[in-house]
Amino acid sequence: MHPLARIQIPAPDFAEPTLYVRLRNGEIQPNGVRLKIGGTASFDTAFGVFSAGRWARLTSIDDVVVRMNITGHARVDFVSFAGGVDTVIASTESGDALTCANIHQLSPESFYVVVTALEDGVVVHSGEWGTTAAPVRDVHLGVAITTFNRQEYVLKTIDRLVDLEANVPIVHGHLKVLVADNARNLEPNIPAGAPVRVIPNPNLGGAGGFARGLIEFRNEGWSTHVVFMDDDISLEPESIVRTIALLTYATSPDLCIHGAMMSEEQPWLQFEAGSWYEFKAVYPLRAIGRGVDLRHRSEVLHDQLEHEMAYSAWWYTVFPMHIAKENPLPVFVRGDDVAFGLMHTGEHTVTMNGICVWHADFALKNNPSSLYYEVRNFALIDTLVFDDHKARHLAWRYLGFGFRNAYSHRYASAEYMIWGMKDFLAGPEEWMKINHSNKHDEVRQVSEEKAAPLTEELKSLGFSPPRPKWIRLGGYLMSPFIAAGSWLPKFLRSENVGVAQIDVRAVGLAIRHDKILYRHPRFEEGFICERDYKRFRKIQREVFTTTLQLLRNYRKLKKQYRDMYPTMVSDAAWQTRFDS
């Protein structure tokens, strides 16, 4: 049997065990699930199911085999799910492997296993899905990790990958890890002979670290596929196992894989499983699969056709080396993965149950410096990728989002957006002169609009109740004519602090409130923004000035950036940056 995926029992202290197993009359112990007589362990879970429909479409396998590792007398049922109906297709009490001989004929949506204890003290240790089909290709997976002072996370990831490569047969000899250390201070404890390299690198952001890893793997010639993986994630090691298995049997040599992002704070919540990109919109990113609760069996059992996606984020994205003939753009952060997906990998990318990472909430990481990169880099991406992208599209986004920030007292965000637009308007020759490490040190020197622990007084403030939609719409329309509330008579203003979620622009609240607390909905963190009319007027002038420059010069800039693109992503250009 060739392994395809493992059935695992979570650690006893894992926050959401129903992602792995559903129990009746049983408990999770260090060596597995212990069941009382009549108790069951059902693996119709996010990490327990075998997504048979997707495997049938994407791979060459015909049969599926499952084998459980159990101590004690128990019955194992091999269950097929299709059309809302669960059907037991095979059972054993002897511990034999169970087989579905032809998944195409059966047409299941998914498979799972149920173990029923026939005596007290049965322990379910683990299980494995597999096939007798011959592998299509020999996969050599290079893992590229970029890190900058995230030792707490990245050292755990390295340890997990080392353990996986040493002890799991499907991974052993098929995995190499390269860590680009942008802080040049990482000191992992790597066992002798472990396939891990740490390369000190200038702080060139995620793009620079991943470009370094990609070039190294390309020059080495060993890897058939590469994984780009963030340094601030909690990796589910099973993701690597299933990635190698899926690539081994994939019918398309171009197949790329995206690992879904799960919430570190709410580990059952899926934040994103791929994304679409709408270049004409004010908010171009369109997440797929956001807000899905993976504790619900219907979410993991039902088969869905693969979503069309534009790109996959670099917390976990996998692609074959022959697709990666070009390096990432030198954009430091924000949008490097978007550009790479739009240009190379997005159209070939799929997701799969059990391939995921956990990541901290992005709302706590976003701040004005993020918007500098977002405005600058997304303008470059749109210019390079979309032939029919026009000046008016970029101007609409810039004005629209700039309006939301300036008119909601988020002045620092608006100022950083202006800075980003000015750097884009400077053109590709100036872009190539940027020392990204120095630029980032300059950009991140912002003390405003950054989440911090709230005082007891601010903690006591509840969110301002939302107004009816027609009132909010009226507020948006009125705001430009009353300078975001600055010209509103004092008797119409509120002396209270308005309270909004940290990831919104509270234009309506800003009309009546001189102070707004932007706070996280689940954590006691946030920041205060306060009305400043002089600052508001200066921002307005600069936004309109830069917009006029954009409208006048965009056609010329687009040609210049496109002509410069081969140089921007070349090995030689990146090597110059590595040597700096």
Indicate the pairing of strand 349-350 with strand 256-258.
parallel
Q: Is the Cα torsion angle 569, 571, 573, 577 positive or negative in sign?
A: positive
How far apart, in Å, do the first and last CA atoms of the chain sit? 50
- Residues with pLDDT less than 50, the chain: none
Q: How many helices (H) and strands (E) does the chain have?
A: 17, 27
Q: How far apart, in whole angstroms, are the C-alpha atoms of residue 516 and residue 536?
A: 15
CA angle 68, 73, 78 (to 5 degrees): 40
Separation CA 240–CA 246 (nearest Å): 10
pLDDT of residue 483: 81
Domains (ranges, CATH) in the chain? 2-131 (2.60.120), 141-364 (3.90.550.60), 368-534 (no CATH)
Rg (CA), the chain: 26
Give the up-direction half-sphere exposure of residue 28: CA atoms within 13 A in the CB hemisphere: 17
Nearest CA among 372, 378, 316, 310 for reference residue 345: 310
**Residue 378 to residues 257, 301, 375, Cα–Cα distance (Å):** 23, 37, 6
Q: What is the pLDDT of residue 464?
A: 86
At residue 489, the pLDDT reads 84
How many angstroms separate the CA atoms of 56 and 481, rounded?
59
Beta strands in 47-140 (DSSP E): 64-71, 74-82, 85-92, 98-100, 110-117, 122-131
pLDDT of residue 476: 66
In this predicted structure, what is the pLDDT of residue 364? 64
pTM of the entire predicted model? 0.92
- Where b means 16+ CB within 10 Å and e means fewer, 248-265 reads bbbeeeebbbbbbbbbbe
What is the dihedral angle through the alpha carbons of 480, 483, 489, 493, rounded to the nearest 10 degrees?
90
**Hey, is 406 helix, strand or coil?**
helix
